[in-house]
Amino acid sequence: MSEEPVIICRCNDVTEEEIVALIEEGITDIEVIKRLTRIGMGPCQGRTCIPLVQSIIARRTGKPMEEISSPTSRHPVKPVRMGVFAGEEVEE
């Protein structure tokens, strides 16, 4: 690993090192990694970080990518202002 930290999740500043540390501790379930590091919980809804974390898990555990699950996707698929839901404004 390079000396500069590698940012995996730009929303919540999670590094590759933090993900690898959890995997080495035996935590390989992406659902658990998500909740301990907060990957996938930021405004990008996991678009950037989830595939990266899945590939790290696959490489570290030797499992094929298709066996690494994805966390549940829910609405809103992109962040929406409360004022829009409340009907007080229209989205620009």
Partner 1 sequence: MKERVVIVGGGIMGLATAYHLARLGAENVTVLERRFAGYGATFRTGTGIRESFGDETNIWMMRESIKMWKALEEELGHPTEYRQTGYMFLLHTEEEMESFRRNVSLQNSLSVPSRIISPEEAKEIVPPLNIEDVLGAAYNPEDGKANPFLVLQGYKKASLKMGVKIHEYSPVEGIVERGGKRVVKTPRGEFEADILINAAGGWSKLIDRMVAVPSHVEPYKHQAIKTEALERGQINPMVVSFKHGGAYLTQDIADGGVIGGVALAEGPTFDMNPTLEYAIEVSRHFTWLIPALKYVHIVRQWAGFYATTPDKNPVIGEVAPGYYIISGFSGHGFMMSPMATKSLAELIVEGGTSAPLDFYDPHRFERGEFREAAIQMG
83 contacts partner 1 (rule: CB under 8 A): yes
Examine residue 19 and tell whether it contacts partner 1 (CB under 8 A).
Answer: no
Helix (H) or strand (E) holding 26: none
CB nearer to partner 1: give 30 or 56: 30
Q: Does 21 bind partner 1 (CB under 8 A)?
A: no
Look up tokens 């690993």; give the residue. 1
CA dist., res. 63 & res. 68, Å (int): 7
Do 72 and 31 form a contact (C-beta atoms < 8 A)?
no
Does 92 help bind partner 1 (rule: CB under 8 A)?
no
Per CB under 8 A, 67 contacts partner 1: no
Residue 35 CB-half CA count within 13 A: 7
Q: Is 1 in the site for partner 1 (CB under 8 A)?
A: no
Site residues (vs partner 1, CB under 8 A): 12, 29, 31-32, 35-36, 38, 41-43, 45, 74-76, 79-89
